[in-house]
Amino acid sequence: MTWRNKPILSVLLIVIAGIAVDAGSKIWAQKTLLSDRFHQREGDYPVCGNETEEMARSHFVRVNASPITVIPNVFRFRYVENCASSFNLMTTVSESFRFPFFMIISVLACILIPLMFLKTPDKSTYMLFALPFILAGALGNLIDRMVYRYVVDFVDWYVVFGGKEYHWPTFNIADALIVIGIALMVLQLKKDSMTSSSKTVSTPSVDPLNDAATAVSPLPETKEND
């Protein structure tokens, strides 16, 4: 394991910039996409509690939100508090299990990803850059859980069909960073697969019968001097 020949500076910049952009965007969302009434009364509504408390908090957020439409009927910024995982997974799991589970997973990810980076071959460029994107996203959401107990989401893609809105799960910059990292991992796997296939095709075939015949072929005759 070695750090030699790895893009350490670039990786550090990706992680630091990713965390900074994610945190800044969430602060912007809290200040811009919520009414003054929300900030005045949010202490009256517990976050990520039991099912009844979460429903009350969700309704409170919804009625005090001030979405910003970017593309009508397609894309807008809408503030959401997500007590579950990325893209609202595990929403039906109790908070008593959900919170420590996500904390442990996030901490493990932050420990294992640098180790994976250390073991990744220098020539695996896509993988070397995939890991810092995933680390930045994991740290961004981990910071949210440590500070708020929930993750701030605000990117809302949706379509309107038959007068009804159909939404992709609301997400944030940290989630996008993780998706970018996974996409780079897929590219690395594809590249490795193509390289492996190329080596297999270019390897000359071996004919054991021909080799055996060559091995036992008689030596050329030499003329004896008279």
3-state secondary structure string, 119-167?
Answer: HCCCCCHHHHHHHHHHHHHHHHHHHHHHHCCCEEEEEEEEEEECCEEEE
Catalytic residue selected from 22, 144, 153, 156: 153
Model pLDDT, residue 51 = 81
What pLDDT, on a 0 to 100 scale, did the predictor assign at position 27? 96
153 tagged catalytic: yes
Query: Residue 175 catalytic?
Result: yes
The pLDDT value recorded for residue 221 is 56
Convert the pLDDT of each residue in 16-49 to its tens digit: 999 999 999 999 999 999 999 999 999 899 988 7
**Ranges of each domain in the chain:** 16-193
- Tell me how far apart the alpha carbons of residues 148 and 172 are, in angstroms, rounded to a whole number: 15
> What pLDDT, on the 0 to 100 scale, is given for residue 84?
73
Max CA separation in the chain (angstroms):
119
In the predicted model, residues of the chain with pLDDT beneath 50 are: 226
pLDDT of residue 226: 46
22, 144, 156, 175: the catalytic one is 175
